[in-house]
Chain A
Amino acid sequence: MARLPYLPQTQTDVEAMLRRIGVKSLEDLYSDVPAEFLHKGAYALPDAMSEQEIRDCFAALAAMNASLKVFVGQGAYDHYTPSVIPYLCSRSEFLTAYTPYQCEISQGTLRYIFEYQSLLCELTGLDVCNASMYDGPTAAAEAMMMAVASARKKTRVLVSATLLPQVLEVVKTYAKFHGVELGMLKADNGQTSLKALQEELASGDVAGVLVPSVNRYGIVEDHSGFADAIHAQKSLLLEYCDPSALAVVKTPGEWDADVAVGEGQSLGLPLSYGGPYVGFMTVKKEHMRKMPGRIVGQTVDGEGRRSFVLTLQAREQHIKREKATSNICSNESLMALWVTIYLSLMGPEGLREVNMMSTDGAHYLKAELLKTGKFEDVYPHKPFLKEFVLKPVAESPAALHERLEKAGFFAAWPLEEGLVSFCVTEKRTKEETDALVCAIKEG
């Protein structure tokens, strides 16, 4: 049997401690548990493994998985992660800390969260950011609940059909149990329809409206007129964003949105089969006290030194208990650090270049694919960045997708409307993109 190196107790220690407690055996420590609940016999688990066996076991599991060139986004983007990030995030002072309850020995965590908040406010053009959420879709659900809590008697929230499917599904789940009525906003030529929005708002019972900044088709949406229409009904505009793209597209602040939420994964987090990622939420300052989650604020210590603390805690679950409008407690702090370091390294130029290279690559791929004659361009004049959709005319979306998988590409993600979605990030070289086009031609 392999030993377990994580337990420091010696036999002598155990005996001494039992004596001090005044019991005879470890079993006696469970004398308050009814005997029928004490598990009898062995647990149905494998034998304990040594570190070497564990390493081999996981190396084998990792090797079983395909290694495909990723040309799909749909809410998870294969951007490059500079080595500095995992290096710094693995520092155990960050990694093995709990939530910064004791601020005097948690200034490291509190400072990077303050930086994270500042960076996300800068990207989104809004005033206040919380310390992070689980992921984009749950952040969207929290924004929905926040809109309803702010609006008091209005219980309807409008969501755009152009949001990513996982966002719509998670929002629907939360809405069902939280007692929120959802209204679906139709798309018009690939983007949320202003006309549909105006019609839906007329009922006067809308607490908030959730629309994507860059949508599931990759289209950069034009939200001109949205905020005026929404604010006229005293409802909130909630923008769902890809924060990487906010370096170049109009910000929630510029659209006069009340709340911005989204998936922070595009800021250098590995794909990691969907998690851990990091959701974000920023709001206009008038909504600060309705915001869920932890918030870090600046203050001074007894000697007047700049210090950071968890603040505005009256909003939070551990104070409000059953009166809370959010139950979030743990967030994704380490991933917020990841994003903070990413944005520090990239700076304004780096983030713009990442967007430019990805956009150039996507536009190139789209043009090359159209040249093959195997696709129809369904949204020819809509602006897009790294992601776009086409309609395959020679084969079904599913058949195309599977064929490409066999050729080593994760590409042409089928959407239910008979479309396929492609994405190019700065990680995809022109050779790889050309190879994808070749593979598509050959079929």
Chain B
Amino acid sequence: MKYYDKLIFELSREGRCGFSLPQNRYPAAPELPAAVKRSSALNLPEVSEPDVVRHYTNLSQMNFGVDTGFYPLGSCTMKYNPKINEEISSLPGFASQHPLVEDALVPGVRKVYEKMNEALGAITGMHAFTFAPCAGAHGELTGLMIMRQYHMSRGDMARTKVIVPDSAHGTNPASAAVCGLQVVQVKSLENGRIDVEALKPLLGPDIAGIMMTNPNTLGLFETQIKEIASLVHGAGGLLYYDGANMNPLMGVVRPGDMGFDIMHLNLHKTFSTPHGGGGPGSGPVGVAKHLEGCLKQLRVSGFHGNFGVILKAYAYILSLGKDHLKKVGQYSVLGANYIKECLKDVYKLPIEGVCKHEFVFDGLINDGAREGVPGATTLDVAKRLLDYGFHAPTIYFPLLFHQALMIEPTETESKDTLDAFIEVMRKIAAEAAEDPNILHEAPHNTPISRPDETAAARNPILKFQDTL
């Protein structure tokens, strides 16, 4: 990757253009009245097509994607994105459809939704899905709306609180707050699982339900899920499943069978659609049979959700079929456990035992701290990994550990790649022990070195030629 410093505005030259339009054969319409007409200048760049192509190609070369290299970003499931799926989503028979066209005119489109509903039902054990949510957090919000709608529809207006474990994804409590629910936190045990004894006194007539991810954000299966489900249901609450960690359960365990009433899936994680540098995602929400009515009442996005993403996920499911589904789950777990076992003598493993698709280290065992030289932190390890051509794991999350390094390899990485990563992680540990400054100053080989984030926040420059 090499540093490239232009912004598109800096390539602009008056009179250049990058478009061609057909000749206008319509008679001229009257001018807009001055009262509603734009009077300010329109300073968009004036650039040619080759300028644009070269500029964005140069920008792309400062980016790291799954196609560039290993991306062990915990809780993000950065698996390979199949290329045939991109081709399918751009077929004109799909891409040119107006969202208001009646169902009867687009039977091929409707069939994709219908088949996806069946397939996701089979994979998760849920009864019906809505495809309107555009991302995971959007799915969480929709799922919580369904939860509240269910209680309200029964005249049970007192259920205004939702239980969220302290290890939960940050979106969980935020989604609850946006949905008008008060968050009650339940703590984790030393072994990383929900403390069932601490849960019991929280349950009561004011509890709408609990939000869980299983395996949880430590990559650990919540072994007491049966008891948790029975306690929450017994208290009149519902169980919400955050599908961000669904990958290890593919073909092995179904959330519906564990007692979950509502769940979302991240099609951009578990179902291989590319994350696009932060979206578009798709967060379909599934419900058990008794909640189907509530599912249909909610409009949470403009039209039918991110259809283009749903198409890609359906193509992926067809490539898996019933034959390969289980391998996705099993190999994702195999890879995570393999890395964990190969590194736990140099990185602190806070909780022993088999993990699922991901696991969390709590920093280096020997961070190299000495007189006058602070030890290497998780941030330092992450930055040093970039020098060796790997993306960093998720860092400082979950919040249960101070130096959390959350590693998720996914099933599409070979043993060779995992071995190369392990070797580099060991090398970094050795470097830290020898001289932590190498890590403090990393990265050394990337287009930029560590930027001044404090200055960015203190003196925000948020657009071209900003002088805020």
Contact = CB atoms under 8 A, between A and B. Distances in A.
B278 A62 contact: no
Interface in B30-46: 30, 32-33, 35-40, 42-46
A170 B145 CA distance: 12
A232 interface: no
Contacts of B447: 104-105, 107
Contact of B275 (A74, A99, A308, A354): A99
B277 A109 contact: yes
Contacts of A361: 26
Contacts of A128: 460, 462-463
B81 interface: yes
Given A55-B84, A61-B112, A333-B278, A248 B38 contact: yes
B291 interface: no
Interface in B101-132: 101-102, 105-109, 111-112, 118-119, 122-123
Contacts of B386: 102, 104-105
Interface stretch (A181-189, A200-208, A299-307, A372-380): A299-307
Given A17-B415, A94-B65, A274-B302, A302 B449 contact: yes
Interface in A319-333: 319-333
Contacts of A87: 53
B159 interface: no
A321 B90 contact: no
Contact of A311 (B29, B97, B456): B456
Interface string A149-191: 0000000000000000011011011100111000000000000
Given A99-B277, A177-B180, A104 B137 contact: no
A100 B64 CA distance: 9
Interface string B52-63: 110111011111
Contacts of B319: 2, 4, 6, 48-49, 51, 54
Given A303-B449, A351-B44, A250 B36 contact: yes
B49 A84 contact: yes
A174 B174 CA distance: 14
Contacts of A199: none
A134 B191 CA distance: 38
A409 to B, nearest CB: 11
B463 A177 contact: no
B21 A54 contact: no
Contacts of B145: 173, 177
A421 B337 CA distance: 59
Interface in A23-69: 23, 26, 28-34, 36-39, 42-49, 51, 53-55, 57-68
Contact of B84 (A14, A30, A51, A383): A51
A125 interface: yes
B178 to A, nearest CB: 5
Interface residues of B, number: 198
B67 A92 contact: yes
A110 B101 CA distance: 36
A263 interface: yes
B341 A20 contact: yes
B462 A97 contact: no
A103 interface: yes
Nearest to A61: B108
A344 B198 CA distance: 56
Identify which of A177, A273, A311, A426 gathers the most chain B CB atoms within 10 Å of its CB.
Answer: A273
B201 interface: no
B334 A65 contact: no
Contact of A134 (B109, B134, B327, B337): B134
A369 interface: no
B341 A275 contact: no
B100 A178 contact: no
A90 interface: yes
Given A7-B327, A20-B341, A99-B278, A129 B462 contact: yes
Given A99-B277, A251-B40, A364 B382 contact: no
Interface stretch (B305-313, B366-374, B429-437): B305-313
A181 to B, nearest CB: 13
A179 B84 contact: no
A335 interface: yes
A91 B55 CA distance: 13
B299 A320 contact: no
Given A288-B462, A303-B448, A347-B17, 4 more contacts: A9-B334, A28-B354, A97-B65, A273-B94
Q: What 9 A-B pairs are tightest by C-beta distance, nearest first? A: A274-B303, A62-B93, A334-B276, A48-B321, A274-B99, A108-B63, A96-B65, A276-B280, A64-B108
16 contacts: A4-B320, A39-B257, A46-B321, A92-B65, A94-B65, A102-B383, A106-B64, A107-B447, A109-B277, A177-B148, A270-B96, A327-B171, A334-B276, A357-B21, A363-B30, A405-B102
